Amino acid sequence: MVKSLAGVNLYLWCNESPLSVMLNSSLCGECQDSIVAPSALKKKERSKLSAGDWEQQALVLIAEQGIRAVAVESLARRMGVTKGSFYWHFPNRDALIEQSLLRWEKHDATNLKTSLGAISDPRERLRSFFIRTSREKLTHDVYSSLCMASDHPKVEPLLERVAERRMSQIEAAFAEIGFDSAEASHRARLTYSAYLGFLQLQRQHQAPNLSSEEFEGYMAHVIATLIPEK
Amino acid sequence: MVKSLAGVNLYLWCNESPLSVMLNSSLCGECQDSIVAPSALKKKERSKLSAGDWEQQALVLIAEQGIRAVAVESLARRMGVTKGSFYWHFPNRDALIEQSLLRWEKHDATNLKTSLGAISDPRERLRSFFIRTSREKLTHDVYSSLCMASDHPKVEPLLERVAERRMSQIEAAFAEIGFDSAEASHRARLTYSAYLGFLQLQRQHQAPNLSSEEFEGYMAHVIATLIPEK
DNA sequence: ACGTTTCCATACGGATGAGTATGGTAAAGT
DNA sequence: ACTTTACCATACTCATCCGTATGGAAACGT
């Protein structure tokens, strides 16, 4: 019954609970690098769950089936426990949603900084923004799922903040390249729209596979069209 | 109790039932032109409902609150009747969804033909594709709502077909302009992605108002960036 | 050793929404 | 005038899911 708990957990977030560390049995399909080292813990120890464990598993569920699928009983089954456990850690379902989203947002914000802030060349920074799609699968899937729930009261302001953060990063890069203020703003919006639209096409199974040749060609075209040469 | 039935109905689709004609009391906010003439019918006639009336009202509900909001009891309240009526016209909820979506798709397909097929200049055709966003509000809102439900078994194939139709139109226009096959395909995808992304930003209340100056500036930038000059 | 805290199971109540069963009413057919 | 058909109301069942109430067991403090 623990088998459904994906080892995906750890490749994105640090864990407090030894349980989720134990569950990191490397069944993650797309990624190989795990932030937290496998750290051989005594198995079968089956320690108690923490609030963080619930939040992470909720995010996995959001990535897989959307925020609507985050039902406490269903989630509890996934965790191998019952509702009783959940309502000890959280007052209600909304609190879980809120904490999970906050956790994701925090990760995404720092991730944006560390992955793009280090690149000095603005053109290369823009390119790596697109490429970043292929990695960080869980984070990405969560965002894609959240885009489908923009009517949710907790999700909408989150999407607003995230898009704002990312677009201003992109806008700054375009400004560095040489665009004036208005142009940089417009192109940043266009660039981010192209990204969001690609996510939508992905959900409709109409986007080329990330590791396909067609995708490479498309990405080259996008970069050539949106990022002017020196 | 009939007041909640928006006159919006008629500005898009032809009606079979005299009821919905009667309800066309011009409370539509964005549009002025009605396909079907107001055709003064004796009011208070309150004829029986047709399946088409349910389908249209379902589409209005989808546009306003998404496909999830299409609940038969809630919808029946909107129609001023009870569930008993619904289950006479339809075997179940899914059948209503399916018929409503088919109705919308049919309208959208013919609409794409008549509105874009007539324009001979490919550049102008592409421009009018974007502009078309400001008009046809209900059709547009329905599509935007459906994009948020791409996981729905009936919606996903529909989105696939619609995107395919539209993108091949765009691709053909780019091919006419002079792009080779691969480039036209890529640019069509990029263009449509920009469109889909704008819809997403709209849902997040991060897109400029369609009748604002900022929107005009953005549109000019998009056109200048994606559609090369002669 | 004994009480307290932590974590979870079980069992219930209540809300929502799909679908059924059945009966009522007005209009249309004959 | 009498039946049939079209359309709708009422009153149920059933399933799902949120939340509560309460009790039990292991771990921990002292």
Q: For residue B164, which residues of chain A lie inside 8 Å, CB to CB?
A: 206
Among the partner residues B196, B217, B218, nearest to A197 by beta-carbon distance? B196
SS3 B23: coil
User: In chain A, which residues from 152 to 191 place their CB closer than 7 Å to nucleic acid strand C?
Assistant: none
The shortest C-alpha distance from B56 to chain A (Å) reads 22
Domains in chain B and their CATH numbers? 7-38+46-89 (1.10.10), 102-226 (1.10.357.10)
The 3-state secondary structure of B115-126, one letter per residue: HHCCCCCHHHHH
The shortest C-alpha distance from A178 to chain B (Å) reads 16
**Is residue A228 within 8 Å of A219, Cβ to Cβ?**
no
Burial A108-132 (b: 16+ CB within 10 A, else e): beeebeebbeeeeebbebbbebbeb
Q: Can you tell me the distance from the alpha carbon of A63 to that of A6, in angstroms, rounded to the nearest whole number?
A: 12
Q: For residue A143, which residues of chain B lie inside 8 Å, CB to CB?
A: none
Q: For residue A66, which residues of chain B lie inside 8 Å, CB to CB?
A: 151
Q: For residue B202, which residues of chain A lie inside 8 Å, CB to CB?
A: none
Among the partner residues B183, B201, B222, nearest to A221 by beta-carbon distance? B183
User: For residue B160, what are the CA distances in angstroms to A202, B139, B151?
Assistant: 11, 17, 12
Nearest CA in chain B to A156: B204
pLDDT tens sequence across B167-206: 999 999 999 999 999 999 999 999 999 999 999 999 999 9
Residues of B near A (CB-CB distance < 8 A)?
65-66, 147-151, 156, 159-160, 163-164, 182-183, 186-187, 189-190, 192-201, 203-206, 217-218, 221-222, 225-226
Q: A225 and B221 in contact by Cβ < 8 A?
A: no
Per-residue pLDDT of chain A (230 residues; tens, 9 = 90+): 333 333 333 334 544 565 554 443 322 333 332 222 222 233 334 478 889 999 999 999 999 999 999 999 999 999 999 999 999 999 999 999 999 999 999 999 998 988 888 899 999 999 888 888 777 899 999 999 999 999 999 999 999 999 999 999 999 999 999 999 999 999 999 999 999 999 999 999 999 999 899 999 999 999 999 999 87
CA/C1' separation B130–C26 (Å): 51
User: What is the reported pTM?
Assistant: 0.86
Nucleotide nearest the Cα atom of A84 (by C1'): C8
